[in-house]
């Protein structure tokens, strides 16, 4: 994970790519003082187990599909669709048959990558 600076605010996702918090997921993470962002790639059928964290979480499906499970039920999101999960709310996900690329933002920033505290893919 790299902190974005005022000198160079660009993000090179490919240079930040690493193993994600659960099997079948790769991640690229960055953070500022009030927000963090992640680009996740989920292999087809990859599962992110139910979890919760203090951070609000915004997610946008870039390609593929994502089945998002949350307190209100389950929804399948396709490319261009987004979600917003309040802090403290349990949620989980499963990538569709074609996999999923997902951009997520968190406030306040998340600076850890353990499966219990990372909202990797929701």
Tell me the per-residue pLDDT of 63-94, one tens digit each, with 9 for 90 and over.
Answer: 999 999 999 999 999 999 999 999 999 999 99
- Show me where the domains of the chain are located: 30-122
Q: Model's pTM, two decimal places?
A: 0.85
CATH architecture classification, 30-122 = Sandwich (2.60)
- What pLDDT band is residue 6 in, cutting at 50, 70 and 90? low
- What pLDDT band is residue 119 in, cutting at 50, 70 and 90? very low
DSSP assignment of the chain equals: -EE--SS-----HHHHEEE-SSTTEEEEEEE-SS-EEEEEEE-TT-EEEEE--SSEEEEEEEEEEEEEEETTEEEEEETT-EEEE-TT--EEEEEEEEEEEEEEEEES------TTT--TT-
């Amino acid at each position: 994970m790299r902190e974005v600076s005022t000198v160079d605010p660009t993000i090179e996702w490919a240079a930040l790519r690493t193993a994600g918090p659960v099997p079948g997921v790769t991640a690229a993470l960055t953070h500022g003082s009030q927000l963090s962002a992640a680009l996740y790639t989920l292999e087809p059928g990859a599962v992110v187990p139910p979890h919760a964290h203090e951070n609000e979480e915004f997610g946008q499906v870039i390609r593929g599909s994502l089945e998002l499970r949350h307190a209100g039920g389950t929804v399948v999101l396709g490319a261009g669709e987004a979600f917003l999960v309040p802090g403290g709310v349990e949620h989980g996900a499963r990538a569709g048959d074609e996999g999923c690329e997902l951009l997520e933002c968190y406030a306040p920033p998340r600076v850890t990558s353990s499966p219990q505290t990372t909202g990797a893919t929701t």
